[in-house]
C-alpha cells in the first residue's frame, strides 16, 4: 500500500470516499449487495457483485496515462530533458575551456 495520497490506487480512493463514484449494479444473484461508501477500507478489492466505480467530474485525479495524455506528452518531455542536458554539457565545456562568463 502506498504511503502518500498522491500514489493511493484509484480503487482505494473510491472505497474511502475520496473520489466521486457512481453505483455499478450487477443483480445476477437477484439482490443488491452494494456496500456502503467507506465500508471495506481494509480490503479494497471487490468482493461483491455490485460495486462503486469512478465518476469523472472534470478533475484529473486518476494517475493513469490515459487521463493525463502520457503518451501524447512523452516525446515533448523527453525532448525537454535532452535539451536541458545538452545545454548543461555546453556550459560545462565552456567553463572547462576557460570561459568563466556563463550566459
Identify any residues that bridge with 21 across adjacent strands, giving them in sequence order: 54
pLDDT tens digit string along 9-27? 777 888 788 888 888 888 8
pLDDT tens digit string along 41-80? 555 555 667 888 888 887 767 666 666 666 677 788 889 9
How many beta carbons lie within 10 A of that of residue 33, not counting itself?
13
pTM for this structure? 0.46
Residues 25 and 10 in one domain: yes
Residues 53 and 97 in one domain: no
Region of 99 on the Ramachandran plot (φ > 0 left; ψ -120 to 50 alpha; else beta): beta
Residues 77 and 103 in one domain: yes
Domain range for residue 16? 1-65
Residues 57 and 74 in one domain: no
Amino acid at each position: 500500500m502506498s504511503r502518500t495520497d498522491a500514489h493511493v490506487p484509484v480503487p482505494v480512493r473510491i472505497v474511502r470516499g475520496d473520489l466521486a463514484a457512481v453505483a455499478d449494479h450487477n443483480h445476477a444473484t437477484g439482490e443488491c449487495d452494494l456496500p456502503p461508501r467507506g465500508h471495506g477500507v481494509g480490503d479494497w478489492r471487490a468482493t461483491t457483485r455490485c460495486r462503486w466505480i469512478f465518476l469523472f467530474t472534470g478533475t484529473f485525479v486518476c494517475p493513469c496515462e490515459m487521463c493525463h495524455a502520457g503518451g501524447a506528452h512523452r516525446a515533448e518531455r523527453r525532448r525537454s530533458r535532452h535539451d536541458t542536458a545538452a545545454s548543461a554539457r555546453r556550459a560545462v565545456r565552456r567553463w572547462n575551456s576557460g570561459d568563466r562568463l556563463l550566459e
